[in-house]
Structure 1
Amino acid sequence: MRSMRRASLAALATIALIGGALTATDIATAAPGDFVVRGSVNQVYLLDATAGQGVELVAGANKVVGTGTVDTAGSFAWRELDPGSYTVRTTSGRAASKAATVTDYDDPAPAPSFYSGQTLDKGFGYITTRDGTTLSANVTFPPGTGPFPTVVEYSGYDPSNPKNTVMAQLYTNLGFAYVGVNIRGTGCSGGSFRNFEPIQSLDGYDMIETIAAQPWAQFHKVGMVGISYPGISQLYVAQTQPPSLSAISPLSVIDDTYQGTLYPGGILNTGFAVPWAKDRAEDAAPYGEGWEQPRVDAGDTVCAANQALRLQNPDPLQLIKDNPFYTKEVGDPISPMLFAKKINVPVFLAGAWQDEQTGGHFPAMLDDFTSSPHLYATMTNGSHTESLSLGVFDKYADFLDLYVGQRVPTGRKAFVAPILASVLTGVSGLTMPTGTSYAGMTYGKALSTFERQDPIRVLFEEGAADGKPAGSPLPRFEKSFKSWPIARAKATAWYLSPGKNLREKPSEAAPGKTKARSYRARPNALPKTTFTGPGSIWAVNPTYNWKQIPAGTGLGWITPPLKQTLVAVGTGSVDLWVRTPGARDTDLEVTLTEVRPNGREVYVQSGWLRASHRKLARAKSTVISPVHTNREADAKPLSRKQFTKLRVELFPFAQPFRKGSRIRITVDAPGGSRPTWSFETISHGERVQIAADRKHRSRIVLPLVAGIDVPTKAPKCGSLRSQPCRTYGRR
Structure 2
Amino acid sequence: MNRTRSAMLAAALSVVLVAIGLVLAPAAHAGPTHYVTVSDGTQIAINIRMPDDFIEGRSYPTIFEMSGYDGGSSDGDTPFDVGGEGSRGLTKIFNEEYVTIHASVRGTGCSSGEFDLFSWRSALDGREVIEWITTQPWSDGSVGLYGHSYGGITGFMIAATQPKGLEAASLSGLIDDLYRGIVYPGGVSNYGFPLLWTGGIRNVYDIGGGSYDGIVENQDQQCARNTASHSRTILNDPIVQGLSDTDNTWYQVRSLINYAERIQVPIHIAGAHQDEQTGPRGPYHLFEAVRDVPKRLLMSNGDHGTQTSDPFQADRKAWMDHWLRGVNGGFGRSRPQAAESEQPTSVRVFFEMGRDAQDDYGPNGTKDATTFPLEDTDWTNVYLREGNALSYDAPAGAETGDQYFSGSPRQSWSYQAGPTAGSQVSTAEGPDEVEYRSQPFVQNTALAGPITATLFSSSTAVDTEFFVQLIDEAPDGSRSYLQRGMLKASHREYMPTLSDKLDDGTIYRPHRPHTNPTNITPNEVYEYLIEVFPVSHVLREGHRLVVKIHTPPAVDSYYAYVPKRPIGINTIYHDSDRPSRLMLPIVPLNGVQLGPERDCGSQDSVRCIPG
Normalised TM-score (structure 1): 0.71
How much does 1:320 deviate? 1.1
Q: Is structure 2 residue 471 aligned with structure 1 residue 585?
A: no
CA RMSD of aligned residues (A): 3.0
Partner of 1:475: 363
Query: 8 Å contact 1:287–1:307 — kept in the other structure?
Result: no
Q: Is structure 2 residue 258 aligned with structure 1 residue 375?
A: no
Amino acid at match of 2:400: K
Partner of 1:639: 521
Query: 8 Å contact 1:255–1:336 — kept in the other structure?
Result: yes
Partner of 2:119: 197
3-state secondary structure, aligned to 1:130: coil
When structure 1 is superposed on structure 2, of 544-553 and 222-231 the one drifting more is 544-553
Query: 8 Å contact 2:463–2:566 — kept in the other structure?
Result: no
Partner of 1:270: 191
Q: Is structure 2 residue 602 aligned with structure 1 residue 719?
A: yes
3-state secondary structure, aligned to 2:36: strand
Q: Distance in 1 between matches of 2:558 and 2:62?
A: 35
Amino acid at match of 1:663: L
3-state secondary structure, aligned to 2:546: strand
Amino acid at match of 1:381: N
Gaps of 5+ in 1: 13-121, 410-435, 439-446, 534-541
Q: Distance in 2 between matches of 1:558 and 1:7?
A: 57
Query: 8 Å contact 1:282–1:288 — kept in the other structure?
Result: no
Q: Distance in 2 between matches of 1:515 and 1:8?
A: 67
3-state secondary structure, aligned to 1:703: strand
Partner of 2:454: 575
Partner of 1:659: 541
Amino acid at match of 2:462: R
Query: 8 Å contact 2:215–2:224 — kept in the other structure?
Result: no
Map Cα deviations across residues 524-548 of structure 1 (whole Å, 9 max, x no partner).
3223244447xxxxxxxx7665541
Q: Distance in 2 between matches of 1:388 and 1:498?
A: 44
Partner of 1:507: 395
Query: 8 Å contact 1:326–1:629 — kept in the other structure?
Result: no
Gaps of 5+ in 2: 1-5, 16-30, 78-87, 332-337
Of the candidates 52, 67, 83, which is equivalent to residue 155 of structure 1? 67
Partner of 2:279: 359
How much does 1:621 deviate? 4.2
Q: Distance in 2 between matches of 1:647 and 1:695?
A: 16
How much does 1:391 deviate? 2.1
How much does 1:148 deviate? 2.3
Change (3 A) 1:179 1:579: same
Q: Distance in 1 between matches of 2:113 and 2:182?
A: 27
Partner of 1:528: 413
Q: Distance in 2 between matches of 1:330 and 1:628?
A: 18
Q: Is structure 2 residue 349 aligned with structure 1 residue 458?
A: yes
Partner of 1:628: 511
Query: 8 Å contact 1:193–1:284 — kept in the other structure?
Result: no
3-state secondary structure, aligned to 1:654: strand
Change (3 A) 1:498 1:321: same
Change (3 A) 1:664 1:673: farther
How much does 1:171 deviate? 3.8
Amino acid at match of 2:435: G
Partner of 2:472: 594
Q: Distance in 1 between matches of 2:454 and 2:520?
A: 15
3-state secondary structure, aligned to 2:116: coil
Query: 8 Å contact 1:657–1:663 — kept in the other structure?
Result: yes
Q: Distance in 1 between matches of 2:208 and 2:596?
A: 55
Partner of 1:213: 135
How much does 1:199 deviate? 0.7
How much does 1:579 deviate? 1.2
Map Cα deviations across residues 388-433 of structure 1 (whole Å, 9 max, x no partner).
2222222211112121233467xxxxxxxxxxxxxxxxxxxxxxxx
How much does 1:295 deviate? 4.8
Query: 8 Å contact 2:12–2:228 — kept in the other structure?
Result: no
Matches within 5 A, 1:229-268: 229-268=150-189
Map Cα deviations across residues 440-492 of structure 1 (whole Å, 9 max, x no partner).
xxxxxxx9xxx999721001000144x531xx531011010011111221211
Q: Distance in 2 between matches of 1:309 and 1:290?
A: 11
Map Cα deviations across residues 661-717 of structure 1 (whole Å, 9 max, x no partner).
111110111136841122122245322221122222111110111243463852211
How much does 1:292 deviate? 5.9
Q: Distance in 2 between matches of 1:172 and 1:661?
A: 42
3-state secondary structure, aligned to 2:379: strand
Query: 8 Å contact 2:7–2:228 — kept in the other structure?
Result: no
Query: 8 Å contact 1:508–1:693 — kept in the other structure?
Result: yes
Q: Distance in 2 between matches of 1:123 and 1:586?
A: 51
Change (3 A) 1:454 1:247: closer
Matches within 5 A, 1:88-103: none
Q: Distance in 1 between matches of 2:120 and 2:132?
A: 19
Partner of 2:12: 9
Q: Distance in 1 between matches of 2:463 and 2:581?
A: 21
Q: Is structure 2 residue 401 aligned with structure 1 residue 516?
A: yes
Q: Distance in 1 between matches of 2:542 and 2:440?
A: 5
- Of structures 1 and 2, the one scoring higher in RCO (CA 8 A, sep 6+) is 2
Matches within 5 A, 1:242-321: 242-279=163-200, 282=203, 290-291=211-212, 294-295=215-216, 298=219, 300-301=221-222, 303-312=224-233, 314-321=236-243
Bigger Rg over Cα: 1
How much does 1:354 deviate? 1.1
Partner of 2:309: 389
Normalised TM-score (structure 2): 0.84
How much does 1:641 deviate? 2.5
Partner of 1:339: 259
Of the candidates 226, 231, 234, which is equivalent to residue 147 of structure 2? 226
Change (3 A) 1:628 1:453: closer
